[in-house]
Chains A and B, each alone.
Chain A
């Protein structure tokens, strides 16, 4: 982690640093201790790191899960039926109130535009993207990525 941080000196690289750190980790979230280390490195306070982490939905800080499924609910995907996909997915995985399902291995998040409007509706599972979805296709992808 220190090696990654040392690549970035300036506060404006906070997001890049967090990305790199999360890439190296199995659990895609940061512990309090790690947040503290990042804050100290950039000479900022922990709340500022937390602010960035909680603002960008791509950074998951709350839950420790194996996979994060991000469904786009921006206009293009919405028109193409994203809302129904969300309902389907949550039912299919049996999500709880925190949107965790599939026996604790999937977190379902509704996110803003993924930049995949041409293949709407689209989802991202971890760092892979999938487009032109319907319920059957989505079910298949989930099974393949379990």
Chain B
């Protein structure tokens, strides 16, 4: 209920407890402020927002709307006070606006004009801190407003910054007084909230004046969160990148999204097609390259059949491009041999959740995590792989008092915020999940009504779980039984509980089993199909969700419609005007095997890099070497492209239109900001041209037209078109009127009833032994992205870290005689690499961890390509359990 507030003699209605400053601004009152920012808690220190409330001068930012308020927003006394306060604020400030790059974009400059105070440059002797790779802090331009410190703590949950010293010498500091000594990871939230030129990007300092510039909105490519970014462009170059204050990221970004795009425009970008002749790449024209590909593929198809051709689509490309690619493989070539890197990340999620719920995507929205009472994070190093989502989780804990349970073999950053950390042995996930459910059932904490009304298969499931007593589980997993009991109680008793997981759950030979167990836990406690409660697989690539949605998978057509379902297939045959194969195609790893068995003759790769990303690389590289005809379409000459017969230059996400679907099923726009570099073309145009040359005509005027076709054949995208982009819809979008779906399975599961699938624990494919005593796991780090094609070309990201390393536990290090910084050789029975040791207790004794981004010591030379029997996902996370660390 609104209440009456009198402002400057006029009456208004306001909501009780609203921030007074916000309210006054909402009715059009121009009140100056510096330390106030709607995203952080009120500070009330700059004293610029002074108003009179019932005759008394107060800071309006710290007041709440209450009964019988009479506010005067300005009179002579107030304006004298404001001006005086401002003069004090800036008296020690080096307001040398003429030589400042953000001249004209500065809040202090604006305020000076409003309050009629003249600013001058002064010689002030505060030491500038330029030790961060990405930003610079100039205390002489700092108004000590507290915004950066609070943003770091309250928005990002990091709390790296603090004021040091006192009186006139106060300054913002990180670590032991300089940025480089601190825990700062370069997310840049502080820069975005700084009202002056005190905190600025180093890239900005290279420009004398930022104004005038142009600003473009688009979607970030560095992970599945789908952060909305504003790219500031001047003279054809990126000035800086800022987080857009909207869904899903609300202004936040990570170091890659804010500072990593310089890697897109390095001089070695592919600018024209290349054809390999006698082992050497030669520049060619588009006509020549496209004709060669069309002829070769047609010939191979005629001679060996359509199934002798395979295609790898790309989770980095847009929905439209993935749709065109799979249509090309299916309609033009005539095979279902199309797959993409989802096979290596969430194939088991899709398979498992399809069985349990009928839909393989994240059930809830990202922002719901902030409101969950209990969050269980397992197999996701969220801070490094999905940094912005980790900020939501941290805020849930810091601000809303949520309880966090982390189940991870490594002591990841989130454990600092966790109530419980269960450190399981790699690959024993089914065991601890069954253990938790055993406790829940024994103590009668299950949600009986949900089980009865919404699920099936409970009794059979129960009999399996009964075997997994906490004692037994402790033996398998190494987690103390008391911790399992405590975690089970905490999770089961929560009002709303969300499970967040990623590759640590899926990349196992038991990946599908792990996912099924997670679904079981959610159903057992009734934590699915509700607001703030659900099963949330975090997708790794910017469009890995979308690539699957539009059918870049060997067993399903767009919209997860099975290729062997005759009715569905018929629908596509009509739409595309060709007959389609009803035989499921090959998956990524199976393609490589089939090449080596001489069953596959040609491989078409669009924007993927299997020569670095796939397990057991020696085997993969042999396949790439031996395949008769290899086409690679990419923005750089990737490790895979080096094996190609023809390389086609694609343009980057900054040079094309399209859409990405993020991890929470939300369709987001990608905008063209720059003209294609050199002769490069968009991926969909290239594929359309090849298809047309091969006799199946594909002509589209725009990405929007392709999306219309997608919507017409894909029920979950059915109501979508480009004129609804601003709505930022989440699929399923059944019709033009449908508003999208915030969380899935609300009234019923996609498959009808949720299915309990009982799962028994099975050992990983490889276990440590006397020869290879350590468990090896692989994963991502914050500063790099996948095979590093873009991130390792960034000047900023590489300054943080640019060499491979292996995490070794101190006790294991002692046994091998290894110190931090020593070069060590790591061996499995598939290969061997040499890299630097980092001795730390992030890993537990007996295990080691290697990030997989680095080609000079490719972790995937070591990993096991043993597959999950259902999802065909390889065991990146433990399979290479036989591992030896030797000093070299």
- Contacts A32-B176, A35-B176: A48 and B162 contacting too (C-beta < 8 A)? yes
- Any A CB within 8 A of the CB of B452: no
Contact status A54-B164, CB under 8 Å: yes
Contact status A47-B416, CB under 8 Å: no
Contact status A45-B416, CB under 8 Å: no
CA distance A43 to B416 in the complex (A): 8
Q: Which of A6-54 contact B (CB under 8 A)?
A: 32, 35, 43-48, 50-51, 53-54
User: Could you tell me the distance in whole angstroms from the C-beta of A19 to the nearest C-beta in chain B?
Assistant: 18
CA distance A55 to B162 in the complex (A): 11
CA distance A53 to B162 in the complex (A): 11
Contact status B165-A47, CB under 8 Å: no
Total interface residues on B, CB under 8 Å, equals 18
Contact status B176-A45, CB under 8 Å: no
- Any A CB within 8 A of the CB of B160: yes
- Any A CB within 8 A of the CB of B692: no
Contact status A45-B182, CB under 8 Å: yes
- Any A CB within 8 A of the CB of B413: no
- Any A CB within 8 A of the CB of B806: no
Contact status A54-B165, CB under 8 Å: yes
Contact status A46-B164, CB under 8 Å: no
- Any A CB within 8 A of the CB of B577: no
- Contacts A32-B176, A35-B176, A51-B173: A46 and B183 contacting too (C-beta < 8 A)? yes
Interface centre among B162, B166, B183 (most CB of A within 10 A): B162
**Which residues of A have CB within 8 Å of B165?**
54-55
Q: Which of A72-106 contact B (CB under 8 A)?
A: none
Contact status A47-B175, CB under 8 Å: yes
CA distance A46 to B158 in the complex (A): 12
Contact status B174-A47, CB under 8 Å: yes
- Any A CB within 8 A of the CB of B388: no
Contact status B160-A45, CB under 8 Å: yes
Contact status A47-B166, CB under 8 Å: no
- Any A CB within 8 A of the CB of B216: no
- Any A CB within 8 A of the CB of B779: no
- Contact with B159, one of A35, A48, A50, A57 (Cβ below 8 angstroms): A48
Would you give the 0/1 interface string for B153-184, flagging 1 where the beta carbon is closer than 8 Å to chain A?
A: 00000111111111000000111110001110
User: Could you tell me the distance in whole angstroms from the C-beta of B168 to the nearest C-beta in chain A?
Assistant: 13
- Contacts A51-B164, A54-B165: A45 and B177 contacting too (C-beta < 8 A)? no
CA distance A57 to B169 in the complex (A): 13
- Contact with B176, one of A43, A50, A55, A57 (Cβ below 8 angstroms): A50
**Interface extent on A, as a size class?**
10 to 19
CA distance A50 to B166 in the complex (A): 12
**Which residues of A have CB within 8 Å of B160?**
45, 47
**Which residues of B have CB within 8 Å of A46?**
175-176, 181-183
- Contact with B161, one of A43, A47, A54 (Cβ below 8 angstroms): A47
B169 (CB) vs chain A CBs: closest residue:
A54
B160 (CB) vs chain A CBs: closest residue:
A45
User: Could you tell me the distance in whole angstroms from the C-beta of A112 to the nearest C-beta in chain B?
Assistant: 10
Would you give the 0/1 interface string for A100-136, flagging 1 where the beta carbon is closer than 8 Å to chain B?
A: 0000000000000000000000000000000000000
A52 (CB) vs chain B CBs: closest residue:
B162
CA distance A44 to B181 in the complex (A): 15
Contact status A44-B159, CB under 8 Å: yes
User: Could you tell me the distance in whole angstroms from the C-beta of B174 to the nearest C-beta in chain A?
Assistant: 5
Contact status A50-B164, CB under 8 Å: yes
B183 (CB) vs chain A CBs: closest residue:
A45
**Which residues of B have CB within 8 Å of A50?**
162, 164, 173, 175-177
Q: Which of B125-151 contact A (CB under 8 A)?
A: none
CA distance A43 to B183 in the complex (A): 13
Interface centre among A35, A45, A53 (most CB of B within 10 A): A45
Contact status A55-B416, CB under 8 Å: no
Would you give the 0/1 interface string for B285-301, flagging 1 where the beta carbon is closer than 8 Å to chain A?
A: 00000000000000000
User: Could you tell me the distance in whole angstroms from the C-beta of A52 to the nearest C-beta in chain B?
Assistant: 8
CA distance A28 to B177 in the complex (A): 19
CA distance A47 to B179 in the complex (A): 10
**Which residues of B have CB within 8 Å of A32?**
176, 181
A47 (CB) vs chain B CBs: closest residue:
B162
CA distance A146 to B159 in the complex (A): 43
CA distance A44 to B153 in the complex (A): 10
CA distance A52 to B159 in the complex (A): 14
Q: Which of B694-714 contact A (CB under 8 A)?
A: none
**Which residues of A have CB within 8 Å of B183?**
45-46
**Which residues of A have CB within 8 Å of B176?**
32, 35, 46-47, 50
A35 (CB) vs chain B CBs: closest residue:
B176
**Which residues of B have CB within 8 Å of A54?**
164-166
CA distance A44 to B177 in the complex (A): 15
User: Could you tell me the distance in whole angstroms from the C-beta of A47 to the nearest C-beta in chain B?
Assistant: 4
CA distance A53 to B163 in the complex (A): 11
**Which residues of A have CB within 8 Å of B163?**
51, 55
CA distance A50 to B182 in the complex (A): 11
Interface centre among B160, B161, B175 (most CB of A within 10 A): B175
CA distance A47 to B173 in the complex (A): 6
User: Could you tell me the distance in whole angstroms from the C-beta of A59 to the nearest C-beta in chain B?
Assistant: 11
Would you give the 0/1 interface string for B713-724, flagging 1 where the beta carbon is closer than 8 Å to chain A?
A: 000000000000
**Which residues of A have CB within 8 Å of B416?**
43
User: Could you tell me the distance in whole angstroms from the C-beta of B82 to the nearest C-beta in chain A?
Assistant: 28
CA distance A50 to B161 in the complex (A): 10
User: Could you tell me the distance in whole angstroms from the C-beta of B297 to the nearest C-beta in chain A?
Assistant: 57
**Which residues of B have CB within 8 Å of A55?**
163-166
Interface centre among A43, A44, A51, A53 (most CB of B within 10 A): A51
User: Could you tell me the distance in whole angstroms from the C-beta of B137 to the nearest C-beta in chain A?
Assistant: 12
User: Could you tell me the distance in whole angstroms from the C-beta of B135 to the nearest C-beta in chain A?
Assistant: 15
**Which residues of B have CB within 8 Å of A43?**
416
CA distance A35 to B175 in the complex (A): 10
User: Could you tell me the distance in whole angstroms from the C-beta of B413 to the nearest C-beta in chain A?
Assistant: 12
User: Could you tell me the distance in whole angstroms from the C-beta of A125 to the nearest C-beta in chain B?
Assistant: 22
**Which residues of B have CB within 8 Å of A35?**
176
**Which residues of B have CB within 8 Å of A51?**
162-164, 173
- Contact with B164, one of A45, A47, A57 (Cβ below 8 angstroms): A47
**Which residues of A have CB within 8 Å of B175?**
45-47, 50
Interface centre among A47, A50, A57 (most CB of B within 10 A): A47
CA distance A21 to B5 in the complex (A): 54
**Which residues of B have CB within 8 Å of A48?**
159, 162
CA distance A46 to B181 in the complex (A): 9
A48 (CB) vs chain B CBs: closest residue:
B162
B164 (CB) vs chain A CBs: closest residue:
A54
User: Could you tell me the distance in whole angstroms from the C-beta of B403 to the nearest C-beta in chain A?
Assistant: 16
User: Could you tell me the distance in whole angstroms from the C-beta of B492 to the nearest C-beta in chain A?
Assistant: 27
CA distance A45 to B177 in the complex (A): 12
CA distance A48 to B182 in the complex (A): 11
CA distance A95 to B163 in the complex (A): 29
User: Could you tell me the distance in whole angstroms from the C-beta of A36 to the nearest C-beta in chain B?
Assistant: 8
**Which residues of A have CB within 8 Å of B173?**
47, 50-51
Given contact pairs A45-B159, A50-B176, enumerate 19 new A-B contacts (beta carbons under 8 Å).
A32-B181, A35-B176, A44-B159, A45-B160, A45-B162, A45-B183, A46-B183, A47-B174, A47-B176, A47-B177, A48-B159, A50-B173, A51-B162, A51-B163, A51-B164, A54-B164, A54-B166, A55-B166, A57-B166
Q: List 29 A-B contacts (CB under 8 A).
A: A32-B181, A35-B176, A43-B416, A45-B159, A45-B175, A45-B182, A45-B183, A46-B175, A46-B176, A46-B182, A46-B183, A47-B161, A47-B162, A47-B173, A47-B175, A47-B177, A48-B162, A50-B162, A50-B164, A50-B177, A51-B162, A51-B163, A51-B164, A51-B173, A54-B164, A54-B165, A55-B163, A55-B166, A57-B166
Chain B residues with a Cβ under 8 A of chain A: 158-166, 173-177, 181-183, 416
* Complex A-B, nearest 5 residue pairs according to Cβ-Cβ distance, in ascending order: A51-B162, A47-B162, A54-B164, A48-B162, A54-B165
